[in-house]
Amino acid sequence: MSVLEIKGLTKSFGGVLAVSNVDLLLDEGEIHGLIGPNGAGKTTLLNLISGLLLPDRGEILFKGVNVTRRPAFLRARMGLARTFQITNIFKEFTVRTNLELALLGRYTNYRNLWTKVPPSVSEKAFAVACEVGLTSQFGLVAGQLSHGEQRALEIGLALCSSPQLLLLDEPLAGMGPKESEWMVELIRRIANERSLTVLIVEHDLDAVFRLAQRVTVMVYGQVIASGAPEIVRSNPDVQQAYTGS
Amino acid sequence: MIRLLPWLFIAFLGVFPLLAPGGGEDFYVSVLTKVMIYSIAATSLNLILGYGGMVSFGHAAYFGSASYALAILMREGIVSPWLLWTVPLILSVILSFFVGAIVLRTKGLYFIMITFAFAQMMYYVAISFKQYGGEDGLKAGRAHLPFLYLDDMAFYYVTLAALILSLGVLRKLLRSRFGLVLQASKENELRTIVLGYNVYSIRLIAFVISGALAGLAGMLMAQHTQFVTPYHLSWHFSGHLIMMVILGGAGRFWGGVLGATVLSGIEELFQNLTIHWQLFVGVFMLAVAFFGQGGLIRFVGGRK
């Protein structure tokens, strides 16, 4: 069964087609790469899928349910999690509070006016910190972490809802080669252990081709190629889009 | 030590009327009653402004309409303490729910303007009813309890109890799961949404609780002065409350109490010296803006 199915999705901003008639199928458990030059509409597509933008036309089915017009928070509750191009965490809270907060909605009634975070949630928060390698930073304020650690925390936040689909927007942006290597391994391990479906937008093509089972290429809002990494890599249209020749 | 200061202040409030030369009739007992009422109102605003990031420029609406509701009930001959103590509160809950449900669909400047507009509507409604005093205000009185006759002394302690209750509610809320999500939505709204939280409903709950506490303060004010004035529905008063919160420390637990106390103190101090006392308030606000970002509470080591 496909976890995510997109049919004819279209979104324009003031006459400019950012996403144009895009079809996409994500199979359960696959890591799917989404690549393309700057301005190809990759981030717009992620925003449409997660519900931060509403499309002009087309449909989005998540786990077989039509969620095209559903608000973002409800899609998140259904098991759709994401990270952002620019690190998006609660910088003034500790790593622990960040994770506890992210876990509340899944394990408790988050509108409870009188009760504190239960200890079971704190334990789960520590388990997630282990998973993304932040145990020694557990008590630190998130804003003080290194760039790479902050990115890892953001992935940790996304994992807290036990999602079935994880959207990653340039998780390697701004990282050195060593950090990148570590992050690629982290993503691969998490996807494996949790049998997650991952849609990853990334400019580091080597990383994408190593991680992904399938790759989709977007240019000017349209999908120009989709398939196994080696087939996409040798596609002449893709080569032209990247080299401009 | 410094953390004890706010509690010492509460303890001071507790013993003051017993030590004051004039007992319950003392002028300063009356001043402190007003300070405590404003502290409740500022604390209620602090919940949504300081912790929820919602700059309500119409907080007078909930304070003032509860004041008016009490005075109007009395004017209509209602004497039941149960009705007098509950109807104004219920009214401010309904009003803040209604306003909140609408304004929380807007953001930033629009949020400020629409909260402002609703409060102005309430103001003009109030002054248009000539039988309820119009611009002159309306006589009110004490809603005596079955077991307690509210002379000035008793009323002082009722107000103190209301202040402690409000602070207790605030503390409990902020440490709850709801409070965590509320503070998260201020710190990073987008992240809070994509974690699966209904930020709108969280904010609406906060807005209504804040409106109810402001209504409590408004009811107390009508009984304290035994009079209601349209000033307490006006945008001047809304601005006054915002000043108290920012002066004291937005998003700091004692910020509302400190701001209300200091601002009322300056008012009492300077209005006896000069009719231009607001000039001094202005200078003081400037000094705080330049040297004390985060509010005066920073200087006494206040915590979040």
**Cβ-defined contact of B196 to A106 (cutoff 8 Å):** yes
CA B83/CA B219 separation, integer angstroms: 12
Assess whether pLDDT exceeds 90 at residue B224: yes
Distances (CA, A) of A23 to A61, A94, A134, A221, A224: 11, 40, 37, 11, 11
Residue B290 forms part of a structural domain: no
Closest CA–CA distance from residue B22 to any residue of chain A (Å): 41
Q: What is the pLDDT of residue B54?
A: 95
CA A81/CA B166 separation, integer angstroms: 38
Q: What is the pLDDT of residue B135?
A: 85
Q: Which residues of A touch B (CB under 8 A)?
A: 50, 52, 72-74, 76-77, 81-82, 84, 88-93, 97, 100-102, 104-106, 108-117, 157, 160-161
Chain A residue closest in CA terms to B172 = A114
Residue B168 forms part of a structural domain: yes
Of B23 and A27, the one with more pLDDT: A27
Contacts of A89 (CB under 8 A, 6+ apart): A98, A142, A150, A153, A154, A157, B188, B191
Averaged pLDDT for residues B95-113 = 94
- First-to-last alpha carbon distance for chain B, in angstroms, is 17
Rounded percentage of chain A residues whose pLDDT exceeds 90: 81
Q: What is the pLDDT of residue A39?
A: 87
Q: What is the pLDDT of residue B301?
A: 58
Read off the pLDDT band of B293 (50, 70, 90).
low
Residue B14 forms part of a structural domain: no
Q: Which residues of B touch A (CB under 8 A)?
A: 172-173, 175-181, 184, 187-188, 190-191, 193-199, 201-202, 205
Assess whether pLDDT exceeds 80 at residue A182: yes
**From A88, A105, A116, residue closest to B197, measured CB to CB:** A105
**Cβ-defined contact of A113 to B172 (cutoff 8 Å):** yes
Of B135 and B186, the one with more pLDDT: B186
Closest CA–CA distance from residue B206 to any residue of chain A (Å): 10
Closest CA–CA distance from residue A142 to any residue of chain B (Å): 12
Read off the pLDDT band of A244 (50, 70, 90).
low
ipTM: 0.91
Residue span of the structural domain in which B201 resides: 23-234
Chain B residue closest in CA terms to A160 = B195
CA B253/CA B173 separation, integer angstroms: 11
Assess whether pLDDT exceeds 80 at residue B291: no
Q: What is the pLDDT of residue B292?
A: 67
CA B127/CA B75 separation, integer angstroms: 16
Mean pLDDT, chain B, as a whole number? Answer: 91
**Ramachandran sector of residue A162 (left: φ over 0; alpha: ψ -120 to 50; beta: rest):** left
Residue B128 forms part of a structural domain: yes
Averaged pLDDT for residues A108-116 = 87
Q: What is the pLDDT of residue B270?
A: 80
Closest CA–CA distance from residue B145 to any residue of chain A (Å): 29
Q: What is the CA B64 to chain-centroid distance, rounded?
A: 10
Q: Which residues of B touch A92 (CB under 8 A)?
A: 187
**Cβ-defined contact of A117 to B180 (cutoff 8 Å):** yes
Assess whether pLDDT exceeds 60 at residue B304: no
* Partner residues linked to A200 by β-bridges: A33, A168
Q: Which residues of A touch B184 (CB under 8 A)?
A: 90, 93, 101
Chain pair A-B, CB pairs under 8 angstroms: 86
CA B89/CA B212 separation, integer angstroms: 6
**Cβ-defined contact of B181 to A104 (cutoff 8 Å):** yes
Averaged pLDDT for residues A110-134 = 93
Residue B303 forms part of a structural domain: no
Residue B239 forms part of a structural domain: no
**From B177, B181, B195, residue closest to A115, measured CB to CB:** B177
Q: Which residues of B touch A109 (CB under 8 A)?
A: 177
Instruction: Provide the edge-to-edge strand list for the sheet that holds A31-35.
Output: A80-82, A165-169, A197-201, A31-35, A214-219, A222-227
B187-206: pLDDT as tens digits = 999 999 999 999 999 999 99
Residue B286 forms part of a structural domain: no
Give the residue among A71, A130, A128, A72 at the shortest CA–CA distance from A101. Answer: A128
Averaged pLDDT for residues A93-111 = 92
Q: Which residues of B touch A106 (CB under 8 A)?
A: 196
**Cβ-defined contact of B187 to A88 (cutoff 8 Å):** no
Chain B residue closest in CA terms to A76 = B196
Closest CA–CA distance from residue B162 to any residue of chain A (Å): 19
* Partner residues linked to A34 by β-bridges: A201, A216
Averaged pLDDT for residues A120-124 = 94
Averaged pLDDT for residues A214-232 = 92
Chain A residue closest in CA terms to B185 = A90
Assess whether pLDDT exceeds 90 at residue B258: yes
3-state secondary structure of A87: coil
Chain B residue closest in CA terms to A75 = B196
**Cβ-defined contact of A90 to B191 (cutoff 8 Å):** yes
What's the structural domain count of chain B?
Answer: 1
**From B181, B184, B196, residue closest to A76, measured CB to CB:** B196
Residue B4 forms part of a structural domain: no
**Cβ-defined contact of A82 to B194 (cutoff 8 Å):** yes
A137-180: pLDDT as tens digits = 999 999 999 999 999 999 999 999 999 999 999 999 989 899 99
